[in-house]
Amino acid sequence: MHWFRFAVFVLIVTVLQAGLADIVAVTNLNIKPDLLLILLVFFAVYCNTFEAIITSFVIGFAADIILFGFPMGSRMISFGLFGTALAYLNRVVTIKKMPYQSVAIFITALLAGTLAHLLDSFRGQTTASNVFAVIFGTSLYSSLVGPFLFLPSAWWMRIKVGRLS
């Protein structure tokens, strides 16, 4: 694992998520792909469990830091928890094919988003009434574009993807 590359990559993706993701937002719910979550799944799939735990929590921290007005920690916990769970799952079920990766992104985004929302609610953070629609939309959008972002991510991180389809 190239940790310096990882740090730069996470920084770039965090800035992109905070500043540019709105360009590709759809519907009036402002649904956009969660680039950080896609990254989380990527590292959970292509790294070992130890690395996946670190990357999951760090990416969760990055996701927290760009959500102004929300209490920090909720995404760090949810991303860390489900990233780690995915890394362990990857030991049993290999998630190398694009459709599987897409499903993995969708389920992880759905679960992580829901847990983060519950933790936010626990901290007394008021959220919009259609928050679950947004979580579902974000999960779907991320699962559709996510697998296509795995290749450039692998190229940057010098990770051999080696998938067939």
Partner 1 sequence: MLFTWFLLAGFIFLLAPQSLTNKFQFAFTRVFRWPLSIGRNISLSARIQQPLTDVVSRREFDKLQNHLANVTEELLEKHKQIERISGLRDRLHALEGAKLRLADVITASIDGSRCELIINRGEDDELAEGQFVLGDNSIVGTVSDVSPRTAKVKLITDLTSKIAVKIRELKTIIQGSGQNSVKVQLLSIKHKVEVGDEVYARKKPGFLDAPVKVGTVARCKRDDENPLLWDITVKPACDVEKLKDVAVIIMNPQE
Residues that bind partner 1 (CB under 8 A): 14-16, 18-20, 22-23, 50, 53-54, 57, 60-61, 64-68, 71-74, 76-77, 80-81, 84, 119, 122-123
Q: Which is nearer to partner 1, 99 or 121 (CB)?
A: 121
| Interatomic CA distance for residues 6 and 153, integer angstroms | 10
Q: Which is nearer to partner 1, 49 or 130 (CB)?
A: 49
| Interatomic CA distance for residues 153 and 165, integer angstroms | 17
Contacts of 74 (CB under 8 A, 6+ apart): 64, 115, 116, 117, 119, 120, 123
Contact 57, 79 (CB under 8 A): yes
Q: Write down the least CB distance from residue 15 to partner 1, Å.
A: 5
| Interatomic CA distance for residues 64 and 61, integer angstroms | 5
Q: Write down the least CB distance from residue 116 to partner 1, Å.
A: 10
Give the count of beta carbons closer than 10 Å to the beta carbon of residue 14. 19
Q: Which is nearer to partner 1, 122 or 148 (CB)?
A: 122
Q: Write down the least CB distance from residue 118 to partner 1, Å.
A: 11
Q: Write down the least CB distance from residue 66 to partner 1, Å.
A: 7
Q: Tell me the torsion sign for CA atoms 128, 146, 91, 79.
A: negative
Q: Which is nearer to partner 1, 69 or 162 (CB)?
A: 69
Q: Which is nearer to partner 1, 106 or 149 (CB)?
A: 149
Q: Write down the least CB distance from residue 41 to partner 1, Å.
A: 17
